Amino acid sequence: MTGDQIDAISITPGSLVALNIVLGLIMFGIALDVAPRDFRVVVRHPKPFIIAILAQVLILPLVTFGLTFVLPVTPSMALGMILVACCPPGNISQVLTHRSGGNVALSVSMTAVGNLLYIFVMPLSIAFWGALNPATREILHAVTLNPWQMLLEILLIVGLPFALGLLIRARFARFAAKMQPIVKWFSLLALVAFIAVALIGNWAVFVSVLGLIVIVVTLHDAFALAVGYGTAVVGRLGTRERKAMTFEVGIRNAGLGLGLVFTFFGGLGGMAIVAGWWGIWDIIAGLILASLWALHTRRRTGSAQGDPTGRGPVLAAEAAA
């Protein structure tokens, strides 16, 4: 199948609206489980957040850029990989961090602030890394990103639902505790369903490149998770912070990326297939890793949390100083 055929992807405007609603529900559900006191340790110790931002903005796009030359991908697939790497942190990262016993407050803070930074960083990152690859440079010449439209989209999808969830948690704690599991799992299943429907709607195109896409996304996702964990180790962060960092860097907002493909890139098929399969594989691989990690920590320490203080060697030393 040629690149032109691969790039023949369609999706309805109504489906994009549904996607935005689902992403908003995910952030709303996460906020229902977060209290203001959860952010205190992050405010006192910003080092993990700084490391995470550097890993996401610099290291992950650089690794992805290298993979676009190593893997046998079409130009639009390569640009899709770059887009995913330049997307803000995936909202599902907090669920996976919580499931693995990681530092949820740190994860939530990194996602919230990271999304704000990516309003400006994302278009610049895509333009920079995409222009360095001759195969994707021509595609970018026909694309114009609107940062203000992206700002509005992120504020509506991430900011408003998250603020509403925090408000309900602060005012109606018992109600929030009852609703949080329902909202969390409903939105998660809805996201999986949306991506599955989008892929099924373009099944012939997807099947034609299934083997390649599975290999590419699996390797790309594994490298992204490794970048998160590796930077946390180099930064001498504790077990709970390493878990949060791994998912914060490794889990990208592929759902948002898929929406941006149709909003700013005309539904370019190679990009859409990469972002769509990322959204599915992210959840599968993340849940497997989070569950195994929690089980390993529980067997070693008796608790999935590992270090109950949430501090690694560096944080503990700073707190004692």
CATH code where residue 305 lies: 1.20.1530.20
Decide if 275 is inside a domain.
yes
Distance CA 181, CA 8 (A): 38
Decide if 5 is inside a domain.
no
Decide if 1 is inside a domain.
no
- 81 by DSSP, 3-state: which? helix
Mean pLDDT of the 12-16 span:
68
Domain range for 121 = 12-320
Q: Tell me the pLDDT of the chain averaged across its residues.
A: 79
pLDDT score of 321: 34
pLDDT-wise least confident of 78-82, 113-117, 231-235, 247-251: 113-117
Q: How many domains does the chain have?
A: 1
Decide if 3 is inside a domain.
no
Decide if 185 is inside a domain.
yes
pLDDT score of 309: 43
Decide if 48 is inside a domain.
yes
Q: Which has more pLDDT, 10 or 29?
A: 29
Decide if 2 is inside a domain.
no
pLDDT band at 204 (very low <50, low <70, confident <90, very high): confident
Decide if 315 is inside a domain.
yes
pLDDT band at 271 (very low <50, low <70, confident <90, very high): confident
pLDDT-wise least confident of 235-244, 256-265, 273-282: 256-265
- 201 by DSSP, 3-state: which? helix
pTM: 0.76
User: How far lies 230's CA from each of 23, 42, 123, 223, 237, in Å?
Assistant: 28, 20, 26, 10, 10
Cβ burial 243-258 (10 Å sphere, 16+ → b, else e): bbbbbbbbbbbbbbbb
